[in-house]
Amino acid sequence: MGSGSALSNREDVKARVRRGFILGIIITALFLPLGLSHFGEAFALEFRAYGYVVYRSGEVIHVGYLPLYLYMWRVSSLLFLAWIITYIAYIIKPSIVLDSSGVIYGISYVITHYIYLFTIGAPVIVYPLTYVLITVGKPLLYLDWGQVIALITIWRYYSIHRLMRG
């Protein structure tokens, strides 16, 4: 009875992890077209009369189109919010479905964050947990949320993996 119950419990955990992964993939798949569309223009925080800027050959250039890095910023921002909301909910009421969907959001965020960062055009120097963006003027030091979320995501993935093994 004990062995069958443990096997049944392990299968239940695997099923819930699968549901969380599927939920994470579906939500991420919905965020991609939303972030890549012009839908975000309807909610711009500032009037873009001068267009947008790109960084090329050491100078800032104004362009009349929406650069790729801003699309990637939108997608990574949506994924960051999904990740934060998921783990706030997880803290309030632990659930392996939430935890496993958070892993998907974390992986997706890290990917889109670095696509965003490296499509800005300005040189980027990555250090442990920080990065420096070198633009016109003084270099800017930032906390690298990509690394922070990657570390937490790896930890959560291994925690889930241990639960699935029984």
Of residues 2 and 80, more confidence is placed in 80
pLDDT at res. 138: 87
pLDDT at 59 over 90: no
Q: Give 100: exposed, middle or buried? Use CB within 10 Å, 0-12, 13-18, 19+.
A: buried
pLDDT in tens, 30-55: 988 888 777 656 555 555 556 678 88
pLDDT at res. 159: 94
Helices (H), ranges, 37-144: 68-92, 96-119
- For residue 16, give both structure tokens: 């819930």
For residues 81 and 27, the answer to whether their CB atoms sit within 8 Å is no
For residues 103 and 156, the answer to whether their CB atoms sit within 8 Å is yes
pLDDT at res. 41: 61
pLDDT at res. 46: 53
Q: Is the dihedral of CA 136, 139, 143, 148 positive or negative?
A: positive
pLDDT at 6 over 90: no
pLDDT at res. 86: 97
Count of other CB atoms within 10 angstroms of residue 83: 25
pLDDT at res. 3: 58
pLDDT at 64 over 70: yes
pLDDT in tens, 126-149: 999 999 998 877 899 999 999 999
pLDDT in tens, 70-128: 889 989 999 999 999 999 999 999 999 999 999 999 999 999 999 999 998 889 999 99
Taking the complete model, does pTM exceed 0.95, yes or no? no
pLDDT at res. 1: 47
pLDDT at res. 39: 65
